[in-house]
Amino acid sequence: MFQAIKLVIVLIIIAGLAAGGWYVTNLKADLAVSEMNNQKLQDGIQKQQELLEQQQKDITQIQETNKELAQQNEKNKKDVDSLSKKFSKRDIGERAIENPELVEKLVNRGTVNALRCIELASGAPLNEKEKAAKTPVEANRECPSLIDRNYTAPSH
């Protein structure tokens, strides 16, 4: 009987060691899974930080572009105001009756200049005459700011 008790105690010890070994093995497996999950989370956080940094750069670039567009819009508005003042100074119909040849010449020159303005606004390079002009107005009266981006129409 003493022999049977020893055998039961030994079996309990072996079972306890086996259960402990199994428990430790499971802990190691859980730890490995946790470490992999942690690494994935760290990678995700890093990607999110990179994305946020890129978004900040994009926002800054958009703001700078909007500022440049606003400045260009202001220049364009001044050009339109300048043209409007030119047209409001004279009655072209009255002038055409007095001197039709002169008005025809002025309209034709204005049309050529306006078409060149469209070309310049579409990205065409300056021609030799425009490059050689002493002032942007001399190069093209209709859109001097397209000849020289720093040109501002005089205020009257």
Contact (CB, 8 A) for 116 and 122: no
Query: Comparing 12-21, 83-92, 98-107, which segment has the lowest mean pLDDT?
Result: 83-92
Contact (CB, 8 A) for 75 and 82: no
Q: Rounded to whole angstroms, how far apart are CA atoms 4 and 96?
A: 132
Domain ranges, ordered by start, for the chain: 1-89, 93-156
pLDDT of residue 151: 66
Four-point Cα dihedral 71, 75, 77, 78, nearest 10: 140
pLDDT of residue 153: 61
Mean pLDDT of 40-47: 96
pLDDT of residue 90: 66
Q: How does pLDDT run across 45-90, given as a tens digit for each residue? A: 999 999 999 999 999 999 999 999 998 888 888 878 877 777 666 6
Q: How does pLDDT run across 104-127, given as a tens digit for each residue? A: 898 898 889 888 888 888 888 988
Q: Which residues of 50-64 are buried (b: 16+ CB within 10 A; e: fewer)?
A: eeeeeeeeeeeeeee
